[in-house]
Amino acid sequence: MAEPVNILVVDDEKGIREGCRRILISEGYSVDVAENGKLALEMVKGKPYDLILVDLMMPVMGGLELMEHVRQIDPGIILVVITGFATVETAVDAMKHGAYDYIPKPFNPDQLLAVLGRGLDKRRLTIEKEKLREERDQRLLEVASEKSKLHTIVNSMADGILVINREHQLVLWNPAVVKMLNVTGRVDDSGVGMDFQKALKQQDLIDVINKAFSPDFSQYTIISEEVVLAGEVPKTLMVIVAGVRDEKGENLGVVCTFRDISGLKEVEEIKSQFVRMVAHEIRAPLGAIEGYLNAYLTGVAGTDPQFNRQMLERAKLRAHSLMDLVNDLLLFAKLESKKVVRKKEFLDMTEIIEGTVDLFKVQGSTKDVSFFVDIPEKLPLIEADKAEMEQLLTNLVSNAMKYNVKNGKVTVRAGAEAHYLSISVSDTGIGIDEASLPSIFDEFYRVQGPNTRYTTGTGLGLSIVKRIVESHFGRIEVESKVGQGTVFTVKLPLKEMNEK
């Protein structure tokens, strides 16, 4: 009988541990569970495992630290991350720490078994490859022609596999590599494998593989390089090339593995764009503050107290805009990370709406903006985080005031609508052009134009509003006409408690 597959489930939630254990035992796997990383590490030291399901956020020892220790004990163990905090940043960190795949919570049994199936196939393939290295008398061509379990596994892999013999002929390939590289004409008229340089048309890819055929290439050396495939949609592949030699050191051929990492490269580019964008937003106010202070300290501005005070007030205003940016960035990162702990309670939005409007009435008087509240005597309750609802209303009312016109109006309405509590914030301001509407909820996006030139802001306010609304399972809509004003409508789901 084949040896059982050993799987370890590490999660601080008992429901997740037991749920995974029952699913996997029903599929014939041998399953152990651990409630934290420290306990799991002791179990790995005492028993060999083929695959470990790891939660990222755990007490005592977190998932990333556990993965580091496991890779040192047995780098061949397949690590699959399960987490409820699924973000781009955590996905990248997990992959950097050796994770094979990533499953966001909640997940169903089919999703779990599909990912585990792929991971265990990779584990079995790795073991088979190690056995092949020990059996030095076998030739790659014999392996290619053998109708074995290995061939089936290779064909089912998502990674591309290409095997080339000492004559530079293709002897083994799988469907994944054919799709990735568009390999055509894999055999010649006599049925012998074609020269790989004719089958692969991209020169930089051929150059990477040729390095393994060099006499100086050691059998223990593995080449790992990124290659960009040209096309309508360029793809970035991680190419791993290993030479195969016999006991005399003679070259038997080359094994190449190809993995499409275009998604990870895109994530890296998004992170770089974010850093550049933040740096750009910070540089302008810092430059202005430095200029005002230099003028004041060097005496260039003269000795007029009133003029010097104006410069300092402008510097203070710029510093305040920087603080707003920092606060918005911290709040945005908190919402984006999915780690925020929400204290949801049944709320009557009346007090929050009236309190927010009262707060802005003083500021609005300097711009001759009038505020109106139109809500019924009693609003139905919603289940929400009070602090986030206050932030939501503050951002919407603030925008309505800033982008309004002199003697303009801001009106906040609320009422029940089907299964939702509808809250709208309307203004009689400059409006938003149709071309800009699809982008207003993007990070750092601000409508550019002569009417907004002197209006300060971080460009994160509406992004934060959208994330708060979505975290409460609601939706936000916007209607606007240039020169006539804008209406933002937030719809938050009502709870059964309202019907009792």
Question: Is the pLDDT at 497 greater than 60, yes or no?
Answer: no
What confidence score (pLDDT) does residue 498 get? 46
Question: Is the pLDDT at 366 greater than 70, yes or no?
Answer: no
Banded model confidence at residue 405, pLDDT cuts 50, 70, 90: confident
First to last CA, the chain: 60
Q: Which residues lie below 8 Å from residue 285, measured CB to CB, with a gap of 6+? A: 318, 319, 321, 322, 325
Question: Is the pLDDT at 338 greater than 70, yes or no?
Answer: no
Q: 490 and 351, same structural domain?
A: yes
CATH number at residue 297: 1.10.287.130
Q: 285 and 186, same structural domain?
A: no
Tell me which of 159 and 458 has the higher pLDDT: 159
Question: Is the pLDDT at 500 greater than 50, yes or no?
Answer: no
Q: 465 and 367, same structural domain?
A: yes
Nearest to 465 by CA among 451, 482, 477, 481: 477
Question: Is the pLDDT at 192 greater than 70, yes or no?
Answer: no
Q: How far is CA 223 from CA 47, 84, 188, 247, 450, in A?
A: 32, 36, 29, 21, 56
| Residue where a domain stops, chosen among 259, 292, 324 | 259
Tell me which of 456 and 93 has the higher pLDDT: 93
Strands 382-385 and 78-83: unpaired
Q: 497 and 407, same structural domain?
A: yes
pLDDT, tens digit, 9 for 90 and up, residues 267-305: 777 677 667 767 766 777 788 788 878 887 777 767 778
What confidence score (pLDDT) does residue 10 get? 93
Mean pLDDT of 317-341: 70
| Residue where a domain stops, chosen among 129, 146, 180 | 129
Q: 499 and 355, same structural domain?
A: yes
Structural domain includes residue 281: yes
Question: Is the pLDDT at 464 greater than 60, yes or no?
Answer: yes
Residues 413, 418, 421, CA angle at the centre, nearest 5°?
Answer: 35
What confidence score (pLDDT) does residue 399 get? 87
CATH number at residue 383: 3.30.565.10
Q: 225 and 193, same structural domain?
A: yes
Q: 493 and 353, same structural domain?
A: yes
What confidence score (pLDDT) does residue 409 get? 92
Asked whether the CA dihedral 133, 137, 140, 142 is positive or negative, the reply is negative
Structural domain includes residue 436: yes
Neighbours of 188 (CB within 10 A): 12
Q: What is the DSSP letter of 73?
A: H
Q: 268 and 252, same structural domain?
A: no
pLDDT, tens digit, 9 for 90 and up, residues 74-90: 888 999 988 877 676 77
Q: How far is CA 286 from CA 20, 298, 340, in A?
A: 52, 18, 30
Mean pLDDT of 445-460: 59
Backbone angles phi, psi at 398, to 5 degrees: -60, -45
Mean pLDDT of 50-73: 89
pTM, to two decimals: 0.43
What confidence score (pLDDT) does residue 285 get? 76
What confidence score (pLDDT) does residue 499 get? 46
Q: What is the DSSP letter of 169?
A: B
Question: Is the pLDDT at 421 greater than 70, yes or no?
Answer: yes
Structural domain includes residue 1: no
Q: 349 and 485, same structural domain?
A: yes
Tell me which of 455 and 404 has the higher pLDDT: 404
Q: 241 and 186, same structural domain?
A: yes
CATH number at residue 42: 3.40.50.2300
Banded model confidence at residue 323, pLDDT cuts 50, 70, 90: confident
Domain count, the chain: 4
Q: 313 and 372, same structural domain?
A: no
Buried b (16+ CB within 10 A) or exposed e, 377-393: eebbbbbbbeebbbbbb
Q: 484 and 348, same structural domain?
A: yes
What confidence score (pLDDT) does residue 145 get? 56
Half-sphere exposure of 473 (CA within 13 A, CB side): 9
| Residue where a domain stops, chosen among 91, 111, 129 | 129
Q: Domain range holding 371?
A: 341-500
Mean pLDDT of the chain: 81
Strands 235-245 and 344-347: unpaired
CATH number at residue 162: 3.30.450.20
